[in-house]
Structure 1
Amino acid sequence: MDLLLWRHAEAEDGSPDTLRKLTPRGEKQARQVAAWLSEHLPKHLRIVASPALRCRQTAEALAQPFETDKRLAVDGNVTGLLVAAGWPDGGDTGARAVLVVGHQPILGRTAALLLSGEEADWTIKKSALWWFSNRTRHGETQTILKAVVSPELL
Structure 2
Amino acid sequence: MRQTVVAEQEISGKTDAIWETISAGGNVHKWFPMVIHSCQLQGTGEGASRFCTMADGNELEERIVEVNHAARRFRYTVDKHPLPAKDVIAFIEVKNAGDGRTFISWGAEFEASEEAVPQVKETIHGLYMQGIQSLEAYHNAN
Specify if TM > 0.5.
Answer: no
If each structure's helix is expressed as a fraction of its own residues, which one has the higher value?
Answer: 1
TM score, norm. by length of structure 2: 0.31
TM score, norm. by length of structure 1: 0.29
If each structure's strand is expressed as a fraction of its own residues, which one has the higher value?
Answer: 2
